A and B are shown apart, each in its own frame.
Chain A
Amino acid sequence: MAIMTIREALGRALDEEMARDDRVFLMGEEVGEYDGAYKVSKGLLAKYGSERVRDTPIAELGFTGVGVGAALAGLRPVVEWMTHNFALLALDQVVNEAAKMRYMSGGLLSAPIVFRGPSGPAEQLGAQHSQSFASYWAHVPGLKVVAPGTAADAYGLLKSAIRDADPVVFLESELMYGWKGEVPDEETLVPIGLSRLARPGRDLTIAAYSKALKEALDAADRLAERGIEAEVIDLRTLRPLDEEAIHRSVRRTGRCVVVDESWPVASVGSHLAYLVSRECFDRLDAPVELVSLEDVPMPYNRSLELAAEPGADKIVAAALRALYLEPGAAARE
């Protein structure tokens, strides 16, 4: 086991996959000579050269489409968006093209491409640079959508994504690049479509992903001080969702809090809350709670920004609601 940051874990995955399969190449703004806007691709240009690590002009629609075409023609491109906020310019190529080629061709075509980059709020970047795009991608059949929450998962899931025959949208986060975690020394793939039990518990189930995973774990610690043991599940893949794991947990605990850094309307979290309400109805003691980003564009001011985010405070409050406990009340034994 080695301790490394998520940034290093992603870089290691790219390096290993590029070494293993010379169809794999990286393309995006500043990925080459700049060593990556967030230094994820540091050292790759030096190692693999400019055919395989391509700096692009600022032309998201253009280079995303080029990636799709290269995938259709048999390569394995990794397209980096500096942030998913800029992916809106390339939406057609992901949603109308990459996602649908296999279906529209009756199975003749395949687009084994990875689109990756940071998504979701960072620190005071303002409204246009702080949006979570999970639900935009998770909505689309034909895509796979992955959102790791730890260094080990960032490493193992990116490898799986690159090897996948289908287009995979990979959600990272600026503030997570520095998170450290244990990563196995030996080559490891994490399967797409499987969640992970981050913390076992018996009193309620908290489902979270990406940056909100840390908030969920913090909330679980605080609940534990009051004698409440929360089970925390890291979704890891948003499409296809590992529904069964959540349902199994909620059927045991009888209570569920879903945490999602997206806005609440038509989000992955709101959809999961619906699924849990439907599948675990008879075992629920309380309605499913959704803790999400406030339904506003992200403000610049730091306090307002923090108030908008689904932090541990809000998760704890939601958990107490689900337990019919007053804030400040001691837990029922």
Chain B
Amino acid sequence: MPYKEPDAEELLGLLSRMQLIRSFEERAGMAYGLRKIGGFCHLYTGQEAVAVGAISTLELPRDLVFTGYRDHGHALACGLEPKAVMAELYGRITGSSRGKGGSMHLFDPGRGMFGGNGIVGAQIPIATGAALAQAYRKDGGVTLCFFGDGAFHQGALHESLNLAGIWKLPIVYVIENNQWGMGTNWRRVSSEDDFAATAAAYGMPGQACDGMDLLDVRRTVGLAVERARAQRAPGLVEARTYRYKGHSMSDPQKYRSRDEIDEYRKRDPILRLKDTLAEKGDLSEERWAAIVAEADRVVAQAVDFAEASAEPSPMVLYEDVLAPAGTGAGRL
């Protein structure tokens, strides 16, 4: 299906989805501060346009999504229920992974969401393999593989780009360059800081886009997805974005100034799309307030759901290690 620009209603939907993610991450951060969420919690605040914009170009669940540990945004963008995601963060049995995965391991194969990975870059060869399955089955599906600037230098990426090239896999690699790999600025550790240009080394096209602009993300990724689907050819997109919060909840963020964050807040992707729509007369103040209120309401419901949900029973510890006995043929 050739790429199409979205209409106003669609954009309002995407705006709502971004706001949902924004509200969700706010609450998740607060819940973490109250120790209801433990371990790791990597917030997506500020990067919403990338997940929402990119994933909106896909035909889920025929198309597949892989990402790293900063996966709340992608999970919600794929359509996972906020209740299920919040309950998973709370570790409850009602969570999307029954409380067994946590923040970094959100999955919903029925919606094309294949996680979620705790190892930097590990999802890249896996996503490449999923694209191999799509090519093998000739089902016309495309895989989107998200990863950060920090993952770019993993050997796994380079091996995967090469494999995608020799086997002509329908995969688009989306680099969410939020410019900070934990506390390290990406320029410090990149011998070549134009990531999109490096794609050429693997014989595939690479495009850069403004990760704070949903429309730019959507257009750039959409074209790459279309090409991947039609020609079975891999592509690479770099989305320059920014995270307002620290790398994770335990990051004191000494490595950057408040001013830098404030500068990017001025380019907030949600406000930007909101203003664009408002300027065109597609979004009134009341409608916007309603969108915000609705996002807050859904998230508040999700928190209540998580709070009220049961802990997994002790026997759950031993479940899901291996397939239930008798499952010889596998899931599919």
Contacts and interface: CB of A to CB of B under 8 A. Distances in A.
Quick check: do A and B touch in the complex, using CB within 8 A? Answer: yes
Interface of A: 23, 25, 51, 54, 56-57, 59, 61-77, 92-93, 96-97, 102-110, 112, 141-142, 144, 163-166
B315 interface: no
A108 B321 contact: no
A108 B129 contact: no
B156 A61 contact: yes
Interface of B: 64, 66, 95-101, 105, 107-109, 114-119, 122, 124-134, 136-137, 155-156, 158-160, 162-163, 166-167, 319-323, 327-332
Contact of A70 (B118, B136, B331): B136
14 contacts: A57-B163, A62-B155, A62-B160, A72-B114, A72-B126, A75-B136, A93-B122, A96-B119, A105-B107, A105-B115, A106-B99, A165-B322, A165-B327, A165-B329
Interface centre among A54, A63, A104, A112 (most CB of B within 10 A): A104
Contacts of B134: 73
A104 B133 contact: no
Contacts of A25: 136
Contacts of A97: 117, 119, 122, 126
B322 A73 contact: no
B32 to A, nearest CB: 20
Given A106-B95, A112-B330, A165-B331, A141 B321 contact: yes
B201 to A, nearest CB: 14
Nearest to A240: B322
The 6 closest A-B pairs by CB, nearest first: A69-B129, A65-B125, A62-B159, A106-B98, A73-B133, A165-B323
Contact of B101 (A57, A76, A106, A144): A106
Given A54-B167, A74-B332, A163-B329, A61 B155 contact: yes
A68 B97 contact: no
A166 B66 CA distance: 21
A63 B128 CA distance: 9
A286 B129 CA distance: 52
A92 B160 CA distance: 15
Contact of A69 (B101, B125, B328): B125
Nearest to A79: B129
B64 A59 contact: no
A106 B102 CA distance: 10
A59 B154 CA distance: 13
B129 A142 contact: no
B129 A107 contact: no
A35 B114 CA distance: 34
A93 B126 CA distance: 8
B97 A102 contact: no
A252 to B, nearest CB: 29
A51 B167 CA distance: 9
A39 B332 CA distance: 31
A67 B129 contact: yes
A142 to B, nearest CB: 5
A102 B119 CA distance: 16
A66 B322 CA distance: 21
Given A63-B125, A103-B321, A142-B321, 20 more contacts: A62-B158, A62-B160, A66-B129, A69-B128, A69-B129, A70-B129, A70-B130, A70-B132, A71-B129, A72-B126, A73-B134, A75-B137, A102-B323, A106-B96, A106-B97, A107-B98, A108-B97, A108-B109, A109-B331, A110-B327
